[in-house]
A and B are shown apart, each in its own frame.
Chain A
């Protein structure tokens, strides 16, 4: 297995000029080898011995920035945007922080993620315009314990993405570095000799390239990656269209011009000052500056032991660890609160909730970390206020945040309430446990139902705890993806009839292959189980079709009976079953759209199932919906039905669909295909990429009834739904029971509740009297 270091060494040996760009030649940069770490770098300073990467160089800008002008966070972005637009780049709006178009990621972690799509394990790059610039908010949760502590780690940051294809509209290495150097030197006024480039490489998902990282006074500002190979380090091929993937930290641009003790002091606008005012924190600025210089340049993430690192810092500052803690702990907490709240603002605005499901778990961790700091210091601070301060400041750059303000506040309030309840519950659990040790199963149950982790209970985490949880969910997924055992290689793609003619149930076909109870036809109207929709049944000649699955592009029918390869057959799909499944599938779309409108934009599908008995949909929501809310959802859904609106199915380019409808089209899951089928219910009421069968008009779905609502996990609500004839039968059945109940109680139907209450009260009274007499 080749490592990144080996790749760099290989290129340095075979193509030593690989990193050499026009700028270096023109300006007289010299290539040097770091005397400490051995890395190669480019500098205008002929006497320089070390590379700029800490710990080879300490931060030299704290309290002493290299620029004459100080730029505010948003101002920094405006400068950068103006510069690149002047240089023929299109400024693209940020993509969501919730990476719904990437099956391998919960959150957006880099600007290039916006433009990467994965099709059956292969990465493709799809740029809406070339070249472009994007202020991409990214969320990363791999350094949470360091946020607030090191002075530079964040969970939320803007990666300025400068992206271009190496063709006639775009550019390659030379122009990229020319632009980046000009931005630093001319726009931000950083002295040219302060800019140092380090030879590096970047390995992403399915693609990689060599890179030039650029530093100023020990601070890495950006990394220009020249992505030109597809595959991994052991097996790669050159890309047809090479990609410039330059990612720079907006926060870093801001920080280098401000030279504040920590990055947190300058990137949150007025938020830090507002927090300081609210909690009257004591802040020894001079001491903090000295501390920050050490804390920032010590690579705490790599030493793994923050206590040990802090002891080292305390020693250098000539104070005890306790004194150091006392002086800096409250500021560290304050910074972490500001950072974590910012991450939560973006995540919630983009539709993810703190929960114990998927990426929501990371959000809950930072939420609870922030709340625990507030608790620890007993500060009169509310996270929702901090969120509002962030929104009010950032709306100049990200106006969409203001639209979600109320929702964000509500969700943070609910989460704080849950946090307090969980803390009380944890105390009770610990008290009730005594000496008893919880089993792995009990711990899993607590985690899934209440989001309580073994760590929060203060018990040892069983070695396989998180593995068990992951496997449990993986198991569910594997079951959904069950496949028939048949070799379909060499068979042509099955012609699909159920999309173009969803109401055709009788068709003719030729039997292409029979293997045991499995049969493949030339064409089929039998819908295979997929996207949560149950498969069709029916007959192929006299053989009963009991299951249908899709393997690649071939549809396989499981039959009871016999068929001969090569024979022509009459086929019949079970019409009643298919129509119910279609109606239930449509009902899921309508209820999903309705729930979003009633409960908020944060509502997203986490899974769904459509059977003949009922449909179910799991929605992300922070609390169980009330009866009134459920009624509103149902009423709105039935309004859509009543209006008889169109259900349009269109096959379109993925990029076009994403541009037109946004990433909510992946509500039902990501579709790994360049062409996707968009189902638009009710002229935009609900729009999803979906491969299911659907009616043509909403009235065809029939009335929709939500029959059950239950919380299946923390942050996840399951609605069970019936529609059309199934809904009617369901209601008639309920009416029958109500009639029987009324008859037994001897009252009219509308009086059953009071009559039953009276009966029950009478029963309890009599029982009490009898018991009393018996004594």
Chain B
């Protein structure tokens, strides 16, 4: 009885396989993105911010040059 209850609880709590595979695909995508900039995934948002900021700055500098 206890075993069956445990099983039921497990099935209820366990992520379904489709979801697991979808999340695995997302993890794979994230891995590919980290390889482009060679950074840890947790640092990626911060690094993107920096790049975007620098792009903006460089674009504005170039505008100045062109004037």
Contact A737 B58 (CB under 8 A): no
A567 at the interface (CB under 8 A from B): no
A731 touches B48 (CB 8 A): no
Closest B residue by C-beta to A731: B23
Which A residues lie within 8 Å of B51 (CB)? 759-760, 763
Instruction: Tell me whether A767 and B58 are in contact (CB under 8 A).
Output: yes
Give a binary string over A689-707; 1 marks a CB under 8 Å from any B CB, 0 the rest.
0000000100110110100
The listed residue (B33, B36, B37, B61) touching A770 by CB distance below 8 A is: B61
| Residues in B1-60 with C-beta less than 8 Å from chain A | 3, 6, 10, 14-15, 17, 20, 23-24, 26-27, 29-30, 32-33, 36-37, 41-42, 44-45, 48-49, 51-52, 54-55, 58-59
Contacts of A759 in B (CB 8 A): 48, 51-52, 55
Q: Is A569 in contact with chain B by the CB < 8 A criterion?
A: no
For residue A10, CB closer than 8 A to chain B, the reply is no
A705-B24 Cα distance, complex, nearest whole Å: 8
Q: For B30, list chain A residues within 8 Å (CB).
A: 734, 737-738, 741, 752
A88 within 8 A of B: no
Beta-carbon nearest neighbor of B49 in chain A: A744
In A752-775, which residues have CB < 8 Å from any B CB?
Answer: 752-753, 756-757, 759-760, 762-763, 766-767, 769-770, 773
Interface centre among A696, A740, A756 (most CB of B within 10 A): A756
Chain B: minimal CB distance from A641 (Å): 9
Given A731-B23, A731-B24: A756 and B36 interface contact (C-beta under 8 Å): yes
Report Cα–Cα, A749/B26, bound state, in Å.
8
Per-position 1/0 for A49-86, Cβ under 8 A of B: 00000000000000000000000000000000000000
Assembly CA distance A752 to B27 (angstroms): 12
Checking A642, A728, A734, A756 against B26 with a beta-carbon cut-off of 8 angstroms, the contacting residue is A734
On whether the beta carbons of A735 and B24 are closer than 8 Å, the reply is no
Interface Cβ pair total, 8 Å cutoff: 93
Q: Contact: B6 with A731, CB < 8 Å?
A: no
Please, which residues of chain A bring their CB within 8 A of the CB of B10?
Answer: 699-700
Q: Taking A741-B45, A744-B45 as contacts, is the C-beta distance between A750 and B23 under 8 angstroms?
A: no
Chain A window 725-746, contacts with chain B (Cβ cutoff 8 Å), 1 for yes, 0 for no: 0011001101101101100110
**Contact indicator B48/A744 (Cβ below 8 Å):** yes
Q: Which of B27, B44, B59, B65 meets A731, CB within 8 Å?
A: B27
| Chain A residue at minimum C-beta to C-beta distance from B23 | A731
Write the nearest CB–CB distance from B10 to chain A, whole angstroms: 6
- In the bound assembly, the distance between CA atoms of A696 and B29 in angstroms comes to 34
Residues of chain B lying within 8 A (CB to CB) of residue A753: 29, 32-33, 36
Interface check A638, CB cutoff 8 A: yes
* A447 close to B (CB within 8 Å): no
**Chain B min CB distance to A725 (Å):** 8
Q: Let me know if A766 and B58 touch, CB within 8 A.
A: yes
How far is A727 from B23 in the complex, measured between Cα atoms in Å?
10
Interface of chain B, main secondary structure: helix
Interface pair A762/B41, CB less than 8 Å apart: no
A568: chain B residues within 8 A (beta carbon): none
> In the complex, are the beta carbons of B45 and A740 less than 8 A apart?
yes
- B61 proximity list for chain A (CB < 8 A): 770
Check A766 against B36 for contact (C-beta < 8 Å). no
The answer to the question of A288 belonging to the interface, with a C-beta cut-off of 8 Å to chain B, is no
In angstroms, how far is the closest chain A Cβ from the Cβ of B44?
A: 6
Contact: A735 with B26, CB < 8 Å?
Answer: yes
Complex contacts, A734 vs chain B, CB 8 Å: 23, 26-27, 30, 41
CB of A507 closer than 8 Å to a CB of B: no
- Assess whether B52 is in contact with A744, with CB atoms less than 8 Å apart: yes
Nearest B residue to A704 by beta-carbon distance?
A: B20
Are A738 and B26 closer than 8 Å at their CB atoms? yes
- Provide the bound-state CA to CA distance between A456 and B59, in Å: 55
**Cross-chain contact B29 with A749 (CB below 8 angstroms):** yes
Question: Can you name the residue of chain B whose Cβ is closest to the Cβ of A730?
Answer: B27
Residues on the B chain within 8 Å of A738, using CB: 26-27, 29-30, 33
Interface string of A633-655 (1 = CB under 8 A from B): 01000100010000000000000
User: Which B residues are CB-close (under 8 A) to A750?
Assistant: 29
A498 in the interface, Cβ–Cβ < 8 Å? Answer: no
A731-B23, A766-B62 known; A741+B15 contact, CB < 8 A: no
Pairwise interchain contact A703-B15, C-beta atoms closer than 8 A: yes
Q: Does A503 contact B (CB under 8 A)?
A: yes
Chain A nearest CB from B19 CB (Å) reads: 9
A298 to B44, CA, bound (A): 70
Contact, CB under 8 Å: B23 / A762 = no
Chain A nearest Cβ from B28, distance in angstroms: 8
Expressed in whole angstroms, the Cα–Cα distance for A703 and B41 within the complex equals 22
Query: What distance in Å separates the Cβ of A148 from its nearest Cβ neighbour in chain B?
Result: 48
| Chain A residues, Cβ within 8 Å of B41 | 734, 737
Taking CB atoms, residues of chain A closer than 8 Å to B27 are 705, 731, 734-735, 738
The contact of B44 among A700, A741, A762, by CB within 8 Å, is A741
Q: Which residues of B contact A745 (CB under 8 A)?
A: 48
| CB–CB A642/B17 < 8 A | yes
Q: Which residue of A lies closest to B25 (CB)?
A: A750
26 contacts between A and B (CB under 8 A): A699-B10, A699-B14, A702-B14, A703-B14, A703-B15, A705-B27, A728-B15, A731-B24, A731-B26, A734-B23, A735-B23, A738-B30, A740-B45, A741-B30, A744-B48, A744-B49, A744-B52, A749-B29, A752-B29, A752-B30, A756-B37, A757-B36, A760-B37, A763-B54, A763-B55, A770-B62
Nearest 6 pairs between A and B by C-beta?
A731-B23, A766-B58, A734-B27, A703-B20, A738-B30, A740-B45
* Interface positions of A (Cβ within 8 A of B): 503, 634, 638, 642, 696, 699-700, 702-703, 705, 727-728, 731-732, 734-735, 737-738, 740-741, 744-745, 749-750, 752-753, 756-757, 759-760, 762-763, 766-767, 769-770, 773
Task: Given A735-B23, A738-B30, A760-B51, output 15 extra A-B contacts at Cβ < 8 Å.
Answer: A503-B6, A703-B17, A728-B15, A731-B20, A731-B24, A734-B30, A750-B29, A752-B33, A756-B48, A757-B36, A759-B52, A760-B36, A767-B58, A770-B62, A773-B62
